[in-house]
Every structure is written in C-alpha cells, then in structure tokens.
C-alpha cells in the first residue's frame, strides 16, 4: 500500500510523473481552486464525456460556496461534502495511491483534495463498445440473437437479464502486474461445488504475469495445467443463454474484459458436442440433430485412418476390394491424405487472412478449380477427395472449434500410425485416443464422463435431448450443492 500524501502539490507531482502527464496526451489533469480550496482531478480521455467533468466541477463549486457561507473549515469537511454532493452512483474513497492510480488507468475519475490523505473515485466510464450482435459461432435458426461483447459491464448485464437469482455472484479480480485486466468469476452461490469454486479462485489469484493481452486464452493456460493435451479443458462461448444454462447446472464462468469469449469451467468432452440449437427444436428433432453432431465428430476423427486401414487389408481380404480406389495414382494414398489435410489448413488460414469480399471467391477457386484439376491430372484419386471432403464437412459441423482443432491433430496422428504400422497402428491409435480422453481431468471432473466412468443417466442425456420438464437433477459429476433442479 502506498499512502496518499496530504500535501496536494506532492501528490500531483507523484501522480504526474507516474502517469506521464504532459507526455501521454490522453491523461488529463485539471487543477481546481475555489476560495483557497484546492483539488486535482485526473481522468483518461475517451473513457468519459466532458460533461461529467463539468458536473464534478459544479458539485465542488456548490460545496465550496456552502462551506464558505456556513463558515465551515477543515479539509475533512470538504472531502466529506464533495463525496456526498457528487451526482454519480458509483463513488468510492481510498487511502491507497496505488489503487487510485489503477482506477485512473481503468477509466474512473480521481479527485485529490489538498490536506486530505485520500482520493475520491468517481466511476463515469463510457467504454468504446459494439452492439451485442449475433455470435459468429454457435448460431441458431431460432433463439436469441444477442451475444457477448468486449465490454465486461455489458456482458454482466446480458447475464443478469437471464438469471435474476440473488445467489448469482460476480467476483472481480485484476490480473497482470502491468495490464491490470479485469477478470470476473461468475457462479451461483447455492449451486456451485464450493471445492471447485475455491480451486478456480485460488488459480486466478495465483496468476503472476505482467499482462494478459490475449485475454481468455492466456487465462485458460494459467488456470489449467494442460500444456500438451490437444483437447480443450474449458469451453468457450459468446452466447449468454449458454452461460446461463451452465451456471444453473453448477458450472462456473470466467469473463475477461476486452474479450467476447466466456470461459466455462469445468468441462467435459460431451459439453463440446452439444449445441444450443438442440433446445430450440422439439425433443425428437433435437435428439436427431444431437446424433448427427456425434456422428460428425466420429467421422471427423476416424473416417480417413479407418479407410486407410481397410485399404491395407484389402489385398488379403477380397471382400474389401470395394474400398480400394479404382484408378491408381503415382502418389501413395496416405500421402494424398496428408497433402489434403495440409492443403485444407492452408486454405483455412488463407480465408481468415483474406478480406471478406474476396473470401468466398478464394474458397471457390481453391475448392473447385484446384480440386478438380488435381483429380484430372492424377495427383489425387476421386475417392480420396470424396472421403476427405466428408471429413472436412464433418469437422466444420462440430459446434466447438477447439474440439474440431483437437480432433484434427488426433486424425493426423492416426493417419501416421496407420501408415507406419498398418491396421494395427490404427487400432493402437484409437485405443490411445480413448485412454487420453479417459485419463484427462478438468479441475478433477473426468473429461470423458459419462462414458468413462460410465454413468447411465448422463449417457442417456448425451444421446437424448429430453423434454425440459423431465430433467429433474443437475449433472452429478460436478457435485453441486443443490442437485435438484425442481423448485417449489
């Protein structure tokens, strides 16, 4: 703690030097003097309107006149009167200069009074923000169209709008020695497992780094010891309805200022293969779409390596002759698959880096012209193009981009093992894949639950989108304080 000096001149000198007043054009310093009552006002340009400073000056003027008329003297009386007179809702005091400096750099206005060893903090922030538009990922045909933005206060309001529970908590932490980024831990107090909550809170408070410019990804890497496991141990979403649904189940959410992505903890493999569209359709249609999504995940991982293994078995098993490409190519099948994988990744990166008006044209040129030409000249067999196209479409059908990226790496490893060892390499790779998923944990919660360990009711919910009135309990793997979803 750095105590605030009661002498205004010394405080101004220290603050001006620390914040670079006169060097940084956006750091504003406004001295005020009314009948010998001296103050200093600090703020950041772009975080407030000039009218707010005018309101503060007018409030100080009214206080000075009233104290002079009543012949009241003393800096404490002046500070108390200004604190009571300011026409703003969020007004605070601090005796810590470090806290005052952090608040100034975060947006609030700080007022230092001569003769008083404390600062008055007025939250007048108006962050640059975009509208809560429809999220780019997890889009739905029916349902809400609002999504999280880069502004923390807006995201909190979008969540509060859906959950008016008095037990909903928003714990604010500041992470980063230099960035002082606002990180908000969100949970429902009487539902969440207190042990999980304490573990996540301890991880957030234990982060030691100068800054987190990459926002939510930096936070996840500090929270989860998952350095080389490709599978995401946290779920990301930009949808307030998805966050509200998970909070009611006993999950926790982490909001990071400057990012529209919200982290949901802990998470399982099944969480990544569910989509909000399932709950905006009838239970039967939602169940069918859930099966399609699960099938897409399986195809995106297993289709190429299993097909390659069957091709290797075909010479000794005539019944499998139909899986072998009709036309031979000078390039081995496994190499064609690897080149197709790499080509798709290059195309994906090119589309991201291409201006939006040209993105569709690039996809058509690469997918139609190059693909058709490659088959015509014999670089690729038609069967390889078909199988890999089905694989890529299934990968894009996966609702979680993080899960799709992990599955892509697993698919590549299975292809390599099948190429080097043969069909047994494919079998060993699949068993290793299941072992990896079965051993993984997200804050102690089994990642492959309810498959490993097997849980009948959880497995049923994974396959069937039950009618909401029939869902009576929360997810048991989270061990919520209140496992019963029924009220009244």
**The predicted structure's pLDDT at residue 351:** 75
Backbone angles phi, psi at 28, to 5 degrees: -100, 135
Among candidate residues 208, 240, 267, the one where a domain is terminated: 267
Domain co-membership, 247 together with 379: no
> What's the structural domain count of the chain?
3
Among candidate residues 236, 267, 298, the one where a domain is terminated: 267
d(CA 302, CA 194): 39
Residue with tokens 């406004």: 30
Domain co-membership, 45 together with 81: yes
Cis amide bond preceding 171, omega within 30: no
**The predicted structure's pLDDT at residue 140:** 85
Domain co-membership, 292 together with 262: no
Give SS3 for 12: helix
**The predicted structure's pLDDT at residue 73:** 58
Secondary structure letter of residue 478 according to DSSP: G
Residue with tokens 């399986």: 298
d(CA 42, CA 28): 6
Whether residue 226 has pLDDT greater than 80: no
**The predicted structure's pLDDT at residue 74:** 57
**Residue % of the chain over a pLDDT of 90:** 39
**The predicted structure's pLDDT at residue 377:** 66
Whether residue 102 has pLDDT greater than 70: yes
**The predicted structure's pLDDT at residue 62:** 80
- At residue 386 the predicted structure's pLDDT band, cuts being 50, 70 and 90, is confident
- At residue 357 the predicted structure's pLDDT band, cuts being 50, 70 and 90, is low
Domain co-membership, 360 together with 259: no
**The predicted structure's pLDDT at residue 439:** 92
Domain co-membership, 184 together with 94: no
Low-confidence winner among 104-118, 375-389, 411-425 (lowest mean pLDDT) = 375-389
Backbone angles phi, psi at 396, to 5 degrees: -70, -25
**The predicted structure's pLDDT at residue 371:** 67
**The predicted structure's pLDDT at residue 278:** 85
Report the chain's mean pLDDT, rounded to a whole number. Answer: 86
The pLDDT tens digits of the residues spanning 457-471 come to: 889 989 998 888 888
Domain co-membership, 102 together with 190: no
The pLDDT tens digits of the residues spanning 30-60 come to: 888 877 778 898 988 878 777 777 777 787 7
Domain co-membership, 291 together with 420: yes
- The answer to whether residues 259 and 241 touch, using CB atoms and an 8 Å cutoff, is no
Among candidate residues 207, 241, 267, the one where a domain is terminated: 267
Q: Look at residue 258 and tell me if it is in a domain.
A: yes
- At residue 361 the predicted structure's pLDDT band, cuts being 50, 70 and 90, is low
d(CA 448, CA 441): 8
Whether residue 488 has pLDDT greater than 60: no
User: How confident is the model over 217-221, as a mean pLDDT?
Assistant: 85
Domain co-membership, 239 together with 292: no
Q: What ranges make up the beta strands (E) of 260-380?
A: 262-265
The pLDDT tens digits of the residues spanning 387-433 come to: 888 898 898 888 888 999 999 999 999 999 999 999 999 999 999 99
- The answer to whether residues 229 and 195 touch, using CB atoms and an 8 Å cutoff, is no
**The predicted structure's pLDDT at residue 54:** 76
- At residue 359 the predicted structure's pLDDT band, cuts being 50, 70 and 90, is low
| Degrees to nearest 5, angle at CA 391 with 452 and 287 | 55
User: How confident is the model over 335-362, as a mean pLDDT?
Assistant: 77
Give residue 394's domain range. Answer: 279-446
Residue with tokens 């994906």: 348
Give SS3 for 148: coil
Q: Look at residue 63 and tell me if it is in a domain.
A: yes
Q: Look at residue 285 and tell me if it is in a domain.
A: yes
Domain co-membership, 168 together with 285: no
Q: Look at residue 479 and tell me if it is in a domain.
A: no
**Residue % of the chain over a pLDDT of 70:** 92
Whether residue 69 has pLDDT greater than 90: no
Q: Look at residue 452 and tell me if it is in a domain.
A: no
Q: Look at residue 388 and tell me if it is in a domain.
A: yes
Give SS3 for 275: coil
**The predicted structure's pLDDT at residue 408:** 92
User: How confident is the model over 129-133, as a mean pLDDT?
Assistant: 78
**Burial class, 421, CB count within 10 angstroms (exposed 0-12 / middle 13-18 / buried 19+):** middle
Q: Look at residue 117 and tell me if it is in a domain.
A: yes
- Per the structure block, which two tokens stand in for 320? 């499998």
**The predicted structure's pLDDT at residue 365:** 65
Residue with tokens 């069918």: 288
Top pLDDT among 147 and 324 is at 147
Q: Look at residue 474 and tell me if it is in a domain.
A: no
Domain co-membership, 233 together with 290: no
Length of the chain: 488
**The predicted structure's pLDDT at residue 373:** 66
**The predicted structure's pLDDT at residue 366:** 66
Domain co-membership, 92 together with 179: no
**The predicted structure's pLDDT at residue 100:** 92
**The predicted structure's pLDDT at residue 346:** 81
d(CA 111, CA 131): 32
d(CA 472, CA 416): 45
Whether residue 209 has pLDDT greater than 60: yes
Domain co-membership, 427 together with 311: yes
């Amino acid at each position: 703690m750095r105590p605030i000096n009661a002498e205004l001149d010394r405080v101004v000198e220290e603050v001006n030097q620390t914040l670079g007043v006169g060097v940084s054009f956006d750091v504003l310093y406004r001295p005020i003097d009314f009948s010998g009552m001296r103050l200093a006002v600090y703020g950041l340009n772009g975080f407030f309107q000039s009218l707010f400073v005018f309101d503060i000056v007018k409030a100080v003027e009214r206080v000075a006149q009233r104290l002079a008329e009543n012949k009241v003297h003393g800096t404490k009386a002046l500070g108390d009167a200004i604190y009571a007179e300011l026409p703003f809702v969020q007004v605070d005091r601090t005796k810590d200069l470090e806290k005052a400096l952090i608040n100034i750099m975060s947006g609030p206005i700080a007022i230092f009074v001569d003769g008083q060893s404390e600062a008055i903090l007025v939250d007048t922030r108006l962050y640059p923000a975009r509208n809560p538009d429809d999220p780019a990922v997890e889009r739905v045909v029916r349902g809400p169209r609002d999504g999280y933005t880069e502004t923390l206060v807006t995201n909190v309001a979008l969540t509060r709008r859906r959950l008016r529970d008095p037990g909903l908590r928003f714990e604010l932490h500041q992470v980063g020695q230099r960035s002082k980024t606002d990180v908000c831990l969100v949970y429902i107090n009487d539902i969440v497992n207190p042990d999980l909550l304490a573990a996540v809170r301890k991880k957030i408070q234990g982060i030691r780094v100068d800054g987190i410019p990459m926002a939510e990804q930096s936070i996840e890497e500090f929270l989860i010891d998952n350095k080389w496991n490709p599978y995401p141990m946290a779920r990301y979403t930009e949808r307030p309805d998805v966050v509200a649904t998970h909070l009611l189940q006993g999950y926790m959410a982490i909001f990071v200022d400057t990012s529209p992505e919200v982290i949901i903890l802990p998470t399982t493999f099944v969480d990544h293969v569910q989509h909000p569209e399932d709950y905006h359709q009838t239970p039967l249609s939602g169940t069918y779409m859930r099966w399609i999504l699960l099938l897409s995940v399986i195809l995106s991982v297993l289709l190429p390596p299993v097909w390659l293994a069957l091709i290797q078995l075909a010479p000794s098993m005539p019944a499998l002759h139909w899986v072998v490409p009709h036309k031979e190519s000078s390039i081995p099948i496994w190499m064609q698959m690897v080149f197709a994988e790499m080509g798709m990744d290059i195309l994906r990166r090119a589309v991201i880096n291409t201006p939006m008006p040209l993105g569709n044209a690039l996809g058509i040129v690469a997918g139609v012209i190059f693909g058709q030409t490659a088959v015509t000249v014999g670089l690729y067999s038609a069967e390889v193009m078909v199988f890999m196209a089905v694989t890529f479409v299934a990968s894009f059908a996966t609702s979680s981009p993080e899960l799709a990226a992990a599955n892509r790496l697993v698919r590549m490893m299975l292809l390599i093992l099948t190429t080097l060892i043969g069909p047994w390499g494919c079998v060993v790779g699949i068993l290793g894949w299941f072992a990896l998923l079965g051993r993984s944990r997200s804050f102690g919660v089994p990642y492959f639950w309810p498959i490993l360990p097997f849980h009948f009711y959880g497995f049923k919910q994974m396959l069937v989108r039950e009618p909401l009135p029939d869902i009576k309990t929360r997810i048991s793997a989270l061990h919520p304080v209140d496992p019963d979803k029924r009220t009244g």
